[in-house]
Amino acid sequence: MKPLPVDASRLQQQIDALAAISEAPAPVVTRVLFSEADLKARAFIKQLCQQAGLSLREDAVGNLFARWSGKDSKLTPVATGSHIDAIPNAGRYDGVVGVLGALEAIRALKQSGFEPNRSIELIIFTAEEPTRFGLGCLGSRLMSGALSLEKAAALRDPDGQTLDYWRGKARFNTQELKSVQLLKDCYSAFIELHIEQGPLLENEKIPIGVVEKIAAPSTLRVQLIGVGGHAGAVLMPDRHDALLAGAEIALAVEQAALTTGSPDTVGTTGVFRIEPGAVNSVPCRAWLEIDLRDTQLPTRAAALKRIEAAIPVVCKRRGIDFQIERLNVDAPATCDPRLVNTVADVCRELGLPVKKMISRAYHDSLFMAQICPTMMIFIPCRGGVSHRPDEYSSPQQIRDGVTVLAHTLAKLAA
Ligand code: GLV
Ligand code: MN
Ligand code: MN
């Protein structure tokens, strides 16, 4: 099969231009939901989509839909896409490859003279990353109905601001939030292209990963309220130090993840904030956010239970008040076997070796799988590194992924 004319250098230029829109100096990419950089990046993407001749729609939480209309408007569209928000101190490829790569796939298809029967829709999801509200996949969660409107209304960022406040600031509030939810099977398929964020493809020198399963994340937010005081004057036996309770809890998370018997259980205390944060003051408050994942629910549930049981024990011993909130407890997703085979066929026709794999990171695909047949295409990234500024995939690796995506979209939309 003759590969579609994917322009890897044009795509790389656009990836680099997007990376320059960041809250932190290069090589760091930070684009937290609703930050100035996030809004600027959205404008950049919209402009590129318009230049590619796509028609745009934005929903009430800022999910962006860029459509190439097919010849038969009665057919359900095929969708692709990913996210452009980036956690603090991130790199330039996570999510972006699935957005700008999909746009390049569409341009290559257009250039080849392909005319889709089904519409092809590129979706740029709002906040795949959990940074602002502690909850990942905000846009796709709302689309799938997995996040209730009550829970969405209760979300607070570290400054106590609500989702509605930020929707208003970004002018996404002209429609009601409930309009974000999509009907089941409103897409015939959803395909997400993404960097692997792990080392397997690189180690095995395989250019394409075909994802069969996506691991399930869960997140806890823990508030600890101790007693502050003068670091010189409060003697050690009299202390109720919120940080020390938090430190014990973080170690309990590590122990819980290490002892499930499954090598796939991973636990991370990725947020740990304290007040007042002065060297000569006993920490009176701490906030922890704990990320716990596994490919199977029973072992993750066991670890979650152990962590939730450890918190009251630590806090009682140290005289600390606490609150535990389960921000999300998600189920793993299975990719659609028919789509997995379609992509594997495309790779065979292109002469590209493939590896069937699971995704240990979560993605908007986790929630799209609740609405429509879904699958993911992975490409290698150097050293398996992600969520770091030195995240890297080569233009050739990206070109392979985009080529596979383009041919897959052509098959699905023909
Ligand atoms: C997504 O960024 C994840 O944390 O898996
Ligand atoms: Mn990420
Ligand atoms: Mn991602």
Closest atom of ligand 1 relative to the 217 alpha carbon: 5
What are 73-98's pLDDT values in tens digits? 999 999 999 999 999 999 999 999 99
Angstrom distances, CA of residue 176 to CA of 27, 60, 167: 38, 6, 10
47, amino acid identity: Q
Mean pLDDT estimate for the chain: 97
Please tell me the distance from the alpha carbon of residue 379 to that of residue 207, in angstroms, as a whole number.
6
What are 330-376's pLDDT values in tens digits? 999 999 999 999 999 999 999 999 999 999 999 999 999 999 999 99
Structure confidence at residue 142 (pLDDT): 98
CA 198 to centroid of ligand 1, rounded, Å: 12
CA 231 to centroid of ligand 3, rounded, Å: 42
Mean pLDDT of 293-308: 95
Mean pLDDT of 184-191: 98
Confidence (pTM): 0.94
Structure confidence at residue 341 (pLDDT): 98
Mean pLDDT of 40-56: 98
Does the structure show a pLDDT above 90 at 216?
no
Structure confidence at residue 198 (pLDDT): 97
Please tell me the distance from the alpha carbon of residue 280 to that of residue 378, in angstroms, as a whole number.
49
Closest atom of ligand 1 relative to the 360 alpha carbon: 5
CA 212 to centroid of ligand 1, rounded, Å: 17
- What is the pLDDT confidence band of residue 279, given thresholds at 50, 70 and 90? very high
The phi-psi region of residue 380 (left if phi > 0; otherwise alpha if psi is between -120 and 50; otherwise beta) is beta
Residue nearest atom 5 in ligand 1 by C-alpha distance: 361
* Block residue for tokens 């100035």: 36
What are 116-150's pLDDT values in tens digits? 999 999 999 999 999 999 999 999 999 999 999 99
**409 CA to centre of own chain:** 22
Please give the helix or strand (H or E) that residue 312 lies within, else none: helix 297-318
Please tell me the distance from the alpha carbon of residue 163 to that of residue 133, in angstroms, as a whole number.
8
| Ligand 1 binding site (Cβ under 6 Å of any ligand atom) | 129, 136, 361-362
Contact predicate 285/360, CB 8 Å: no
Please tell me the distance from the alpha carbon of residue 143 to that of residue 152, in angstroms, as a whole number.
12
**Best probe residue, ligand 1, of 96, 211, 266, 363 (max atoms within 8 Å of C-beta):** 363
Residue 164, token pair as written in the block: 């509605």
Length of the chain counted residue by residue: 414
**Best probe residue, ligand 1, of 293, 362, 378 (max atoms within 8 Å of C-beta):** 362
Residue nearest atom 2 in ligand 1 by C-alpha distance: 129
Structure confidence at residue 1 (pLDDT): 82
